[in-house]
Amino acid sequence: MRKRVISDSRQTGRSYFEEMRRSYVLMVFMFSYLLLAEKGAGSIRCANVLTHCQQNGSNIPRCVENAMRNCGKSLPRGFHSPDFYLRAANSSRAARVDTVYGHVIQVPSEAVLKSKSENDVYLIVSVLNSSLFEAPSDNGSLHEQVLGVWLGDQDVHDLSHPVRIKFVNVSQNESRKCVFWKMSKNSEQGKWSTDGCNTSQNNKDFVCECNHLSFFAVLVSPDMPEKVDTQPLEYITYVGSSLSVVFTVIALMLFLCHRKIKAEHSVIIHMQLTGSMFLLHLFFLASSFWSEAEGAACRSLGLMLHWALLGTLTWTAIEGFHLYLLLVRVFNIYIRRYTLKLILVGWGVPTITVMICGVAGSYGKYTLTVNTSNITNLCWVPTAAVRYITVNGYLGLVLLFNIAILAVTVVKMRQLRLRTVQTTSRVRRFWKDWATVLGLSCVLGLPWGLAFTTKGLINLPGVYVFTILNAFQGALMFLWFLSITCKSNHEEQSSKDISLSNIRS
User: What are the structural domain ranges in the chain?
Assistant: 46-221, 230-499
Q: Is the pLDDT of residue 35 over 50?
A: no
Q: What is the pTM of this model?
A: 0.58
CATH of domain 230-499: 1.20.1070.10
CA distance 472 to 457: 25
Q: Is the pLDDT of residue 418 over 80?
A: no
* Mean per-residue pLDDT over the chain, rounded: 76
Q: Contact at 8 Å (CB) between 265 and 343? A: no
Q: In terms of C-beta distances under 8 Å and separation of at least 24 residues, what long-range contacts does 131-138 make, across chains too?
A: 132/60, 132/61, 133/61, 133/181, 133/190, 133/192, 133/215, 133/217, 134/189, 134/190, 134/191, 136/191, 136/192, 136/219
pLDDT tens, residue by residue, 308-337: 999 999 999 999 999 888 877 665 566 788
> Would you say how long the chain is, in residues?
505
pLDDT tens, residue by residue, 241-253: 999 999 999 988 8
Q: Is the pLDDT of residue 173 over 60?
A: no
Q: Is the pLDDT of residue 350 over 90?
A: yes
The pLDDT value recorded for residue 169 is: 66
Q: Contact at 8 Å (CB) between 170 and 208? A: no
**Domain 46-221 grouped into CATH 2.60.220.50:** yes
Confidence of residue 456 (pLDDT cuts 50, 70, 90): very low
Pure H helices in 132-229: none
The mean pLDDT of 368-372, rounded to a whole number, is 58
pLDDT tens, residue by residue, 95-111: 888 888 888 888 888 88
Radius of gyration of the chain (CA): 34
Q: In whole angstroms, what separates CA 334 from the centre of its chain?
A: 43
Give DSSP secondary structure letters for 273-293.
HHHHHHHHHHHHHHHHHTTT-
pLDDT tens, residue by residue, 195-229: 888 877 766 677 888 887 776 667 655 444 444 55
The pLDDT value recorded for residue 493 is: 55
CA distance 42 to 65: 14
